[in-house]
């Protein structure tokens, strides 16, 4: 809870406190967008951030890419079919003719004896249609698909958490902007009062009822108040620029400050439950655990056998005849045709011993992710309880602020009247005006603090509607 004591409004301590509120709380934190006012404008901000903010768009694209990664793993069931054709020209010093092995399943033959070790080349041709298919992988394919789906789910929840955090930051910046906009009104009224007091003091000095120093003193306070007002206008502009960045670079049109949050306080019925199991951060870490478990499952499935079916249709032409003589013209067309098909099953016999350390490593990584989830839940539970307490206390404090303002206003009006009658001096008027100004600012800041506490409670619960439903009433 933020508290500002009863101190002189022009003192460095007061200014430092107020500026710290505006700066520190700010850190807590293109398509056409149609704007309205109040709740509707905040909805427009949230929609613009969801669509236009680059980080959210990047996470969304990453999610879409992983959807195709799942399809790629599912397509592993499709057989591999390769068609090839080749021409070659080579010596005949080993088997009868030569064939380049890629995409071709060649027939073997005897050593060539008729021509000896000759370096004269002969032409040859070959074509083949090869099919490879692994219809049964003993769980390896399903494990790979499951891991791809796990990575997709992790990306989806990461995108959800990024969007949620961005929305919280947008609402936080919006509240900061509203506070500064209303504080500027309070500062402007304070500047107007000093202008009135200065004019009044000048009249009294001219009439000889007050000393000439009163006019100079009020003029000094008037200048100080103007400089303070300029400082808050600068802070408001900075927050507005930051808000523009948070929604992707362009604010919806028709932006107008909404003062309704300073006219009422939030009301939330507290639940005995702590952090929701549906908090985006909790869901993200659960997805990380799932990915680690699926990775371990996929690694263990890698020691299973693989069944491969294959078939080939093969045509061959060679410039070497069956008796070893050379007839180069025959090498440019096919002379023999063959086919073949078969099945093969392969067992990685020793891989289980090689992969055991990797399995143990992945088991420890999975266990570490479970402990990280416990830590996150513990932190969020504590944060929810602290946010609930802060909301209760800040709401109680905000209900007292109007009473302080009423007393300060009554005191100022009375002292200002007595000053005009010559019954009190300049310092009494300044002190009364400062107390009233501070009380006016405290009404704004105390309401703002209560709404910020509700925003924190919503953020730690993982449910921004806790705030939005109250704000929209």
Residues 205-252: tens digit of each pLDDT: 676 656 666 777 778 888 888 898 999 899 999 999 999 999 998 888
Answer yes or no: is pLDDT of 271 > 70.
Answer: no
Output DSSP code: residue 252. Answer: P
Helix pair 12-27, 140-206: axis angle to 10 deg:
160
Residue 118 is predicted with a pLDDT of: 59
Cα separation, 80 vs 136, in Å, equals 14
Helix pair 351-420, 280-301: axis angle to 10 deg:
170
Most confidently predicted of 29-38, 91-100, 242-251 = 242-251
Residue that wins the pLDDT comparison between 418 and 179: 179
- Those residues whose C-beta lies under 8 Å from the C-beta of residue 251, and which sit 6 or more positions away, are 45, 48, 240, 243, 244
Residue that wins the pLDDT comparison between 11 and 301: 301
Answer yes or no: is pLDDT of 415 > 60.
Answer: yes
Cα separation, 266 vs 472, in Å, equals 11
Residue 63 is predicted with a pLDDT of: 96
Output DSSP code: residue 210. Answer: S
- Those residues whose C-beta lies under 8 Å from the C-beta of residue 12, and which sit 6 or more positions away, are none
Residues 305-317: tens digit of each pLDDT: 989 898 888 888 8
Residue 314 is predicted with a pLDDT of: 82
Residue 99 is predicted with a pLDDT of: 56
Answer yes or no: is pLDDT of 424 > 80.
Answer: no
Average pLDDT over residues 366-378: 95
For residue 30, name the pLDDT band (cuts at 50, 70, 90).
very low
For residue 421, name the pLDDT band (cuts at 50, 70, 90).
confident
Q: Is 204 exposed, middle or buried (0-12, 13-18, 19+ CB in 10 A)?
A: middle
Residues 380-397: tens digit of each pLDDT: 999 999 999 999 999 999
Cα separation, 381 vs 165, in Å, equals 18
For residue 285 the two structure tokens come to 């870490």
Question: In this structure, are residues 70 and 95 in contact, taking their beta carbons and an 8 Å threshold?
Answer: no
Distance of alpha carbon 405 from its chain centroid, rounded? Answer: 42
Residue 101 is predicted with a pLDDT of: 57
For residue 6, name the pLDDT band (cuts at 50, 70, 90).
very low
* DSSP per-residue letters across 171-226: HHHHHHHHHHHHHHHHHHHHHHHHHHHHHHHHHHHHTTSS-HHHHHHHHHHHHHHH
Helices (H), 97-139: none
For the whole model, what pTM was predicted?
0.80
Handedness of CA 2, 183, 231, 467 (dihedral sign): positive
Residue that wins the pLDDT comparison between 303 and 109: 303
For residue 186 the two structure tokens come to 């309070």
Cα separation, 255 vs 356, in Å, equals 62
Residue that wins the pLDDT comparison between 360 and 202: 360
Residue 359 is predicted with a pLDDT of: 94
Q: Is 71 exposed, middle or buried (0-12, 13-18, 19+ CB in 10 A)?
A: exposed
Mean pLDDT rounded to a whole number for the chain: 82
Most confidently predicted of 76-85, 106-115, 195-204, 323-332 = 76-85
Any bridge partners for residue 81, and if so which?
131
Residue 153: phi and psi, rounded to 5, are: -65, -40
Question: In this structure, are residues 241 and 251 in contact, taking their beta carbons and an 8 Å threshold?
Answer: no
Residue 35 is predicted with a pLDDT of: 42
Answer yes or no: is pLDDT of 125 > 50.
Answer: yes
Answer yes or no: is pLDDT of 472 > 80.
Answer: no
For residue 456, name the pLDDT band (cuts at 50, 70, 90).
very high
Cα separation, 340 vs 209, in Å, equals 121
How many other CB atoms are there within 10 angstroms of residue 271's CB atom? 10
Average pLDDT over residues 60-85: 94
Residue 200: phi and psi, rounded to 5, are: -65, -45
Cα separation, 3 vs 165, in Å, equals 27
Residues 177-203: tens digit of each pLDDT: 999 999 999 989 888 887 887 777 677
For residue 295, name the pLDDT band (cuts at 50, 70, 90).
very high
* Percent of residues, the chain, with pLDDT higher than 70: 80
Residues in the chain: 473
For residue 457, name the pLDDT band (cuts at 50, 70, 90).
very high
Q: Which CATH superfamily is domain 12-74+142-178+233-296+353-471 in?
A: Outer membrane efflux proteins (OEP) (1.20.1600.10)
* Percent of residues, the chain, with pLDDT higher than 90: 45
Cα separation, 31 vs 463, in Å, equals 26
For residue 159 the two structure tokens come to 């995108």
Question: Which residue, 128, 115, 171, 50, is CA-closest to 465?
Answer: 171
Helix (H, G, I), strand (E, B) or coil at 109: coil
Domain ranges of the chain: 12-74+142-178+233-296+353-471, 80-136+306-346
For residue 308 the two structure tokens come to 């491969």
For strand 336-346 and strand 121-136, is the pairing parallel, antiparallel, or unpaired? unpaired
For residue 275, name the pLDDT band (cuts at 50, 70, 90).
low
For strand 336-346 and strand 80-91, is the pairing parallel, antiparallel, or unpaired? unpaired
């Amino acid at each position: 809870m933020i508290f500002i004591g009863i101190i002189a409004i022009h003192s460095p301590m007061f200014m430092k406190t107020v500026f710290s509120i505006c700066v520190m709380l700010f850190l807590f934190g293109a398509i056409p967008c149609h704007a309205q006012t109040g709740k509707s404008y905040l909805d427009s901000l949230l929609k613009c951030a969801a669509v236009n903010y680059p980080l959210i768009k990047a996470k969304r694209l990453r999610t879409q890419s992983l959807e195709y990664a799942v399809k790629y793993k599912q397509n592993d069931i499709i057989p591999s079919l390769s068609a090839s054709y080749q021409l070659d020209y080579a010596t005949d010093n080993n088997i009868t003719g030569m064939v380049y092995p890629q995409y071709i399943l060649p027939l073997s033959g005897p050593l060539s004896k008729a021509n000896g070790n000759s370096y004269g080349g002969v032409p040859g041709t070959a074509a083949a249609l090869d099919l490879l298919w692994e219809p049964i992988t003993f769980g390896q394919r399903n494990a790979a698909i499951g891991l791809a789906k796990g990575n997709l789910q992790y990306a989806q929840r990461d995108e959800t958490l990024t969007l949620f955090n961005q929305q919280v930051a947008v609402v936080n910046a919006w509240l900061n902007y509203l506070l500064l906009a209303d504080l500027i009104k309070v500062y402007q009224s304070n500047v107007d009062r000093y202008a009135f007091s200065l004019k009044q003091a000048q009249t009294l000095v001219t009439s000889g009822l007050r000393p000439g120093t009163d006019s100079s003193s009020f003029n000094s306070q008037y200048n100080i108040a103007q400089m303070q007002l300029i400082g808050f206008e600068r802070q408001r502009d900075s927050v507005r620029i930051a808000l523009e960045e948070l929604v992707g670079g362009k604010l919806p049109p028709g932006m107008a400050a909404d003062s309704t949050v300073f006219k009422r306080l939030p009301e939330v019925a507290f639940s005995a439950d702590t952090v929701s199991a549906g908090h985006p951060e909790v869901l993200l870490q659960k997805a990380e655990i799932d990915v680690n478990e699926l990775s371990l499952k996929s690694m263990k499935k890698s020691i299973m056998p693989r069944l491969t079916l294959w078939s080939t249709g093969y045509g061959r032409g060679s410039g070497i005849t069956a008796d070893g003589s050379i007839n180069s013209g025959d090498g440019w067309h096919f002379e023999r045709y063959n086919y073949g098909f078969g099945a093969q099953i392969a067992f990685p016999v020793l891989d289980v011993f090689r992969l055991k350390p990797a399995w143990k490593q992945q088991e420890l990584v999975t266990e570490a992710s479970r402990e990280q989830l416990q830590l996150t839940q513990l932190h969020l539970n504590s944060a929810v309880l602290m946010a609930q307490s802060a909301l209760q206390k800040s709401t109680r404090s905000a209900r007292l602020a109007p009473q302080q303002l009423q007393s300060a206003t009554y005191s100022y009006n009375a002292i200002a009247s007595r000053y005009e009658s010559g019954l009190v001096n300049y310092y009494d008027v300044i002190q009364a005006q400062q107390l009233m100004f501070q009380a006016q600012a405290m009404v704004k800041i105390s309401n703002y603090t209560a709404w910020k506490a509700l925003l924190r409670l919503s953020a730690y619960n993982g449910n921004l509607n806790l705030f939005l439903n109250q704000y929209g009433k």
